[in-house]
Amino acid sequence: MLEKADILGLKENARESLLWRTPSTSLLERSTIYGRDQDKEAIMELLFDDTTDAKISAIPIVGMGGFGKTTLAQLVYNDESLEQIFDLKLWIYVSENFDIQKITKTMIEAVTSSSCDMKDLGFLQLELKEKLIGKKYLVVLDDVWNENYGVWNDFQKPLQHRAKGK
Ligand SMILES: Nc1ncnc2c1ncn2[C@@H]1O[C@H](COP(=O)(O)OP(=O)(O)OP(=O)(O)O)[C@@H](O)[C@H]1O
Ligand SMILES: [Mg+2]
């Protein structure tokens, strides 16, 4: 079976496509997006819902490759009405390896618009927590493959201190 896959080049292509993917950004690839109005509105409603007491709320967008997950997130992210509720927005491209250090560092750099040289995860998390404290923020984590609860738990530690109503 493996040999057949090798002959067809399936394994190699699949791995290559992940490793060499261009990171997504918050910018939409094309100007005309079809049939996503309802999905977008459903997410907007969740974002504008300020009745929750949760310290952190996550909205997962899940689906097969090419389904339009990134595009939907971009549609929401670029909606001007979000300015009414969020002090800042961050778009973070994660990909296969959920590297908490790297993601935390990228988030700090996105908030401060300058490079961050810290390496220690503890310092990075403290710094991020400090930068976000009292702020209403939206973070899009695109292309997340991680299914490990512990890793997700560790990652969100600095994000537990949002201001009320976000
Ligand atoms: N509703 C839409 N209307 C028009 N084009 C779309 C729509 N949704 C997605 N596309 C286009 O389809 C392609 C794949 O979409 P997208 O990258 O959002 O998928 P994805 O689910 O994030 O894929 P992956 O799992 O590989 O990251 C892109 O070129 C995007 O511009
Ligand atoms: Mg995507």
pLDDT single digits (tens) 12-56 = 445 445 567 889 999 988 889 999 999 999 999 999 998 877 888
Polymer length of the chain: 166
Per domain, the residue ranges of the chain are: 25-159
The token duo for 45 is: 């409603």
Looking at residue 41, its pLDDT comes to 97
Residue 11 pLDDT greater than 90, yes or no: no
* CA pair distance 24, 5, nearest whole angstrom: 29
Q: Which of 93, 71, 100, 107 is nearest to 18 (CA)?
A: 93
**Quick one: which ligand is closest to 62's CA?**
1
Looking at residue 2, its pLDDT comes to 54
Q: What is the residue with the minimal CA distance to atom 24 of ligand 1?
A: 65
Residues whose Cβ atom is located within 5 A of ion ligand 2: 69-70
Helices (H), the chain: 2-8, 10-19, 37-48, 69-77, 100-112, 121-132, 149-155
Q: Pocket of ligand 1, candidates 70, 72, 95, 96: which has the most ligand atoms within 8 Å of its Cβ, to mutate?
A: 70
pLDDT single digits (tens) 86-143 = 999 999 999 999 999 999 999 999 999 999 999 999 999 999 999 999 999 999 999 9
